[in-house]
């Protein structure tokens, strides 16, 4: 477990899967996640079974926050596409409980993940892709020190229009355990 003051990251259990199905079938939650079709329990169970073949660094983690004295599961954070030779990894995150957006939880969860990525996994560069309309996400990543790297113009079709996909990244020397 990766433990912060009011946010912690833990492994995902089979019992968590119904939460994921609920969260990822919410159009507001999945809008900026490249997920566009309804998700079934069977698909989610298959996703969970397939995790056994992922390396340890790519195991997704449950984001939990301290809510009235108990740890409440809220969403998911993970490294993807970990490149062992170049020490690069992509970051993915969603908070499935909409009522907890904009309260600093994403920032705290990513800060824990950056510590884990740079100090434990010995990564050199952590990057992410974010849709241009996702200004909440972009602001969160900028706050943490992610830099804008580039823009894939009109690379994704969302809600009837083509939108840009931004690349952002942070290097190990730029991360000093802020937040
Ligand atoms: C993106 C996400 C992980 C961010 O986590 P969060 O806990 O909501 O973000 P935080 O509260 O830590 O930071 C968001 C910042 O953006 C600001 N913000 C909120 N809405 C905004 C908007 N429409 N435009 C600009 N900034 C906005 C907040 O005020 C906050 O900044 P502040 O701390 O300076 O006030 C979360 O909102 C989420 O999971 N969204 C749905 C799925 C998703 O978009 N995943 C990421 C795909 S790349």
Domains of the chain: 2-127 (3.40.630.30)
Measured from the CB, is residue 117 less than 6 Å from ligand 1? no
Q: How far is the CA of 10 from the centre of ligand 1 (A)?
A: 21
Distance CA 65, CA 26 (A): 20
The answer to whether the CB of 109 is under 6 A from ligand 1 is no
User: Residue 76: which residues within 8 A CB-CB, separation 6 or more?
Assistant: 12, 20, 60, 61, 62, 63, 92, 93, 94, 96
pTM of the predicted model as reported, rounded to 2 decimal places: 0.96
CB 132 within 8 A of CB 166: yes
Task: Tell me the pLDDT tens digit for each residue of 31-83.
Answer: 999 888 899 999 999 999 999 999 999 999 999 999 999 999 999 999 999 99
């Amino acid at each position: 477990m990766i433990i912060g003051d009011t946010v912690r990251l833990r492994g995902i259990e089979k019992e968590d899967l119904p939460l994921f199905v609920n969260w990822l079938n919410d159009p507001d939650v999945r809008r900026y996640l490249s997920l566009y079709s309804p998700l079934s329990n069977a698909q989610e169970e298959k996703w969970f079974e397939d995790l056994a073949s992922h390396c340890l660094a790519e195991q997704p983690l449950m984001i939990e926050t301290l809510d009235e004295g108990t740890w409440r599961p809220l969403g998911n954070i993970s490294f993807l596409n970990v490149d062992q030779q170049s020490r690069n990894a992509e970051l993915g995150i969603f908070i499935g409980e909409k009522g907890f957006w904009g309260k600093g939880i994403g920032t705290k969860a990513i800060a824990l993940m950056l510590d884990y990525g740079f100090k434990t996994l010995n990564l050199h560069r952590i990057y992410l892709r974010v849709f241009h309309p996702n200004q909440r996400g972009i602001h969160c990543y900028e706050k943490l020190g992610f830099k804008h790297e580039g823009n894939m113009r009109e690379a994704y079709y969302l809600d009837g229009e083509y939108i840009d996909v931004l690349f952002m990244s942070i290097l190990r020397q730029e991360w000093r355990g802020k937040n």
